[in-house]
């Protein structure tokens, strides 16, 4: 059953994709020099009835193998954790 939904709209119209609690969902937005990656996933602790949905936002240059974590967002509570990106 779908837990996440991503929608994108561009010159050729709109499209959507679904993700489950197990798979999460990921987006990739690319420009000429940088990528912005947003990953959403359900994070539960074994034995506890409450789970939280988290999204991470990462930016990377095309020539980098890994990016810089910009922020983490708790999609259940609205808490935002900013990460200082290395210059």
pTM to 2 decimals? 0.83
Percent of the chain at pLDDT above 70?
Answer: 91
- Residue in 32, 52, 34, 33 with CA at minimum distance from that of residue 42: 52
Average pLDDT across the chain, whole number: 89
Give the contacts of 56 (CB within 8 A, at least 6 positions apart): 37, 38, 39, 69, 71, 72, 73
Looking at residue 86, its pLDDT comes to 47
The two structure tokens encoding residue 25: 């969902």
Looking at residue 50, its pLDDT comes to 72
Listed in order, strand segments (DSSP E) in the chain are 4-10, 13-19, 25-30, 34-44, 51-61, 68-74, 80-82
Is the pLDDT at 87 greater than 50? The verdict is no
In the block, residue with structure tokens 């988290």? 54
| Predicted confidence (pLDDT) per residue in 52-64, tens digit | 999 999 999 988 8
């Amino acid at each position: 059953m779908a837990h996440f939904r991503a929608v994108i709209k561009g010159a050729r119209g709109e499209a959507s994709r679904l993700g489950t609690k197990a798979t999460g969902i990921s987006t990739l937005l690319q420009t000429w020099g940088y990528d912005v990656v947003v990953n959403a996933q359900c994070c539960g602790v074994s034995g506890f009835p409450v789970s939280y949905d988290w999204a991470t936002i990462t930016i990377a240059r095309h020539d980098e193998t890994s990016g810089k974590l910009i922020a983490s967002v708790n999609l259940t509570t609205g808490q935002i954790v900013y990460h200082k990106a290395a210059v």
